[in-house]
Amino acid sequence: MTVLITGGAGYIGSHTVRALRAMGREVVVLDTLELGFEAATLGAPLVVGNAGDGALVRSLVEEHRIDSVVHFAGYKNAGESMQVPGKYFENNVVATARLLEALVGTSVRSFVFSGSCSVYGTPAVLPVDEKAALQPESPYGQSKLIGEQLLRWHGELHGLQWMSLRYFNASGASTDTMIGEDMSHTFNLVPLVMNAALGLRPAVQVFGTDFPTPDGTAVRDYIHVEDLADGHVRALTYLEAGGVSGALNLGTGTGSSVQQVIDLVTEVSGRVVPTQYVGRRAGDPSAVWADNRKATSALEWVPRQGLRDIIESAWRWHQSHPTGYV
Ligand SMILES: NC(=O)c1ccc[n+]([C@@H]2O[C@H](COP(=O)([O-])OP(=O)(O)OC[C@H]3O[C@@H](n4cnc5c(N)ncnc54)[C@H](O)[C@@H]3O)[C@@H](O)[C@H]2O)c1
């Protein structure tokens, strides 16, 4: 009963590896370490390799008697995907297809996938639920949608039980400051604001101050990475108990503006956050937050940490690890 965790040396993967091991599950991490760190696995068994390497995956499944997979491996920068779409289709779609193909006929029955709220594009109705139209606005979002479609067909044709967890904005660090988000290759708001507060970058740029939101800056649903990890543990348990395959939103159900994040970082850190207000970026929705009722009911999952917990944990992590894991 071992779980293969692709991308388990990355940000969300490492928190999930830790949560699974804490409940006594055997895991094997498969990560290229291109964007991940061995230190983040906290000593979990790690194989350095590509999730799209079918021969390697099949040998790991046999050697470790793997019956479940959690697939985090992939790229996540929507902005970059507009510049180099092929990179995203290659890693997020082709590698996922190869991984799934390698699992056909093996002992693997359950598969949890890193989905994304970017599959919704700009939602017509908020909060956005799983029945909303799927209209991604970047190759990244499209790659996540294709990943879900691959899963649906593997479910129908090969009996794979699957769950796509559509994360909203993953943020924060572990409460005990052991692991967190490495800032060297992230474009997520919270680490960028932390960087500015620490004087590691000249200023944080705020894209757009004229959105139809209470303070004019864009609104997103920030979900603590430990709550996400808990969602994965529950999704795996649910599938293994015969739960229904499908997609679930993992968000708090509450939106916070970019300005609220900056104000809270200023308060928690006691530092000035140099801020530069610039125009909107193409394709940035004004507001996105989750209807999470399907996940809370199917998985009995409740996000326990709010924006203050996110900022406080991230501040402790970034202050104590200004250069991340390096
Ligand atoms: N961070 C977010 O807010 C967010 C939101 C929605 C979805 N996601 C998705 O969740 C997943 C994990 O995100 P993260 O924030 O932990 O990113 P991350 O970059 O920290 O982790 C990804 C990990 O996967 C590894 N990797 C990449 N391609 C690989 C491959 N082909 N084979 C093996 N390893 C590979 C990287 O080295 C890295 O360790 C990604 O698929 C991302 O698209 C993230």
The Cα 246–Cα 74 span in angstroms is 20
pLDDT of residue 311: 98
> Strand 2-6 relative to strand 26-31: parallel, antiparallel, unpaired?
parallel
* pLDDT > 90 in the chain, percent: 94
Give the residue from 133, 171, 124, 117 showing the smallest Cα distance to 290.
117
CB of 221 within 8 A of CB of 117?
A: yes
Burial of 277 (0-12, 13-18, 19+ CB in 10 A): middle
Domains delineated in the chain: 2-169+223-250 (3.40.50.720), 183-220+253-290+304-320 (3.90.25.10)
Please name the amino acid found at residue 79. G
With a 6 A CB cut-off, is 10 part of the ligand 1 pocket? yes
Residues in the chain, overall count: 326
Cα–Cα distances in Å, from 85 out to 67, 120, 166, 269?
32, 18, 21, 37
CB of 186 within 8 A of CB of 175?
A: no
> For the segment 169-187, what is each residue's pLDDT rounded down to a tens digit?
999 999 999 999 998 877 8
Cα–Cα distances in Å, from 304 out to 10, 128, 308?
22, 20, 11
pLDDT of residue 1: 83
Taking the CA of residue 12 as reference, the ligand 1 atom at the shortest distance is 16
Cα atoms in the Cβ-side hemisphere of radius 13 Å centred on 98: 16
> For the segment 190-201, what is each residue's pLDDT rounded down to a tens digit?
999 999 999 989
pLDDT of residue 59: 98
Which protein residue's CA is at the shortest distance from atom 10 of ligand 1?
114
The Cα 247–Cα 245 span in angstroms is 7
Give the residue from 145, 169, 11 showing the smallest Cα distance to 88.
145
C-alpha 92 to ligand 1 mean position (Å): 9
Which protein residue's CA is at the shortest distance from atom 18 of ligand 1?
10
pLDDT of residue 281: 85
pLDDT of residue 186: 77
C-alpha 77 to ligand 1 mean position (Å): 10
What are the residue ranges in the chain where pLDDT is below 70? none
The Cα 71–Cα 96 span in angstroms is 8
pLDDT of residue 275: 97
Give the residue from 279, 321, 309, 34 showing the smallest Cα distance to 181.
321
With a 6 A CB cut-off, is 33 part of the ligand 1 pocket? yes
pLDDT of residue 270: 97
Tokens of 175: 């409460």
Stated pTM of the model: 0.97
The Cα 165–Cα 115 span in angstroms is 5
